[in-house]
Amino acid sequence: MERTAIRPGQAWVLHRPAQPRGRRASVVSQNLPTSRGTTITDSGTQQEFRNTRQRRTVLEVLATLDDFHSAQDFHRIIVDRGGRVSLATVYRILQSLADSGDVDSVQDQEGQALYRKCAAQEHHHHLLCRNCGAAEDIEADVVEEWASSIGAALGYSDIEHTVELTGICSQCARDKSPETSLPGR
């Protein structure tokens, strides 16, 4: 079996179905499932995942939510619906989805990770309302150029970055609501 490590902390790319060592790539709803839990991604590569009951349950909840929510929120929703999954498993599933780029992940003001399904397939950033948690997907070519130039100037390649912008949305500014943390806290 041929396998290639992408980067530390990311999934193995597998060229045939097999149980990989290390992290497994996640299920993407837009991808086409094949036999033995293999998914063919948009780029044509095959990635392994375990299509467990817990993973399916988290994905079902993810499909119903539009805003960012914490792992605790996901866990509470699953338990309220009669599901059985540990909070640690919810964290692990959401993080694997975030690592593979299948969900967006941001941090609230207290540093807690929040997750949501994302329609954008390309790299992008977010502008979040600190009051109500509303989020806007934004593209910022100047940020991409800046990150690449800084990396190149210091001799780095394959630069990755995360930029999170926060503010108060126009609706909250009109309502003059007191500033609170994002949903999920």
Number of domains in the chain: 1
Residue 35 has pLDDT above 50, yes or no: no
Residue 30 has pLDDT above 70, yes or no: no
125 assigned to some structural domain: no
Instruction: Give me the domain span that covers residue 15.
Output: 1-50
Whose CA is closest to 161, among 179, 181, 146, 177? Answer: 146
pLDDT tens digit sequence for 77-96: 999 999 999 999 999 999 98
6 assigned to some structural domain: yes
Percentage of the residues of the chain whose pLDDT score is greater than 70? 65
36 assigned to some structural domain: yes
* pTM of structure: 0.53
27 assigned to some structural domain: yes
CA distance 145 to 67: 29
Type of residue numbered 143: V
Residue 155 has pLDDT above 90, yes or no: yes
DSSP for residue 130: T
Higher pLDDT, 38 or 76: 76
10 assigned to some structural domain: yes
CA distance 55 to 34: 17
Whose CA is closest to 39, among 54, 55, 58, 61? Answer: 55
103 assigned to some structural domain: no
153 assigned to some structural domain: no
42 assigned to some structural domain: yes
| Pairing between β-strand 12-14 and β-strand 3-5 as defined by DSSP bridges | antiparallel
Query: Can you give the pLDDT at residue 81?
Result: 94
